[in-house]
Amino acid sequence: MSLRLWTYRKCGTCRKAEAFLTERMIAFERAEIRETPPGIAELREMLAHFNGDWIRLFNRSGLDYRELNLKSVLPQLPLDEILTLLASNGNLIRRPFVLGNNCGTVGFKSEEWAKIFA
């Protein structure tokens, strides 16, 4: 399985996700989410895993999300603008963000990841 994992170096949850994959000898390519956020095609792919629920892609506890007042702004935006916003600012994306051949998820919960990567 070819995996790409977007993380933030200082994020403890991201380090746990990396350790999870490494311990299970699951090969992955790591990318810095702030420097090289997922592109629009990758965000659309992730949306397919979440049945189009775009709010799950957002790091809603992040400073950028709050400063931009996205809680009230996002409901009025068309999907294309939402995806452009995410692709232009990795701080807005929930992390870790992982995509593979037939899988995709954001955040890290070991029980969920055990099912995904069984």
How confident is residue 1, by pLDDT bands cut at 50, 70 and 90? very low
What pLDDT, in 10s, does the model give residues 59-108? 999 999 999 999 999 999 999 999 999 999 999 999 999 999 889 999 99
Residues with Cβ < 8 Å from 5, sequence gap 6 or more? 17, 18, 21, 28, 29, 30, 31, 96, 97, 98
Q: 92, 96, 94: which is closest to 14 by C-alpha? A: 96
pLDDT (0 to 100) of residue 77: 97
With tokens 């799950």, the residue in question is 56
What pLDDT, in 10s, does the model give residues 3-28? 999 999 999 999 999 999 999 999 99
The phi and psi torsions of 27 (rounded to 5 degrees) equal -70, 140
Q: Is the pTM of this model over 0.85?
A: yes
Q: State yes or no: pLDDT of 30 exceeds 50.
A: yes
pLDDT (0 to 100) of residue 2: 87
- Structural domains of the chain ordered from first start: 4-116 (3.40.30.10)
How confident is residue 118, by pLDDT bands cut at 50, 70 and 90? confident
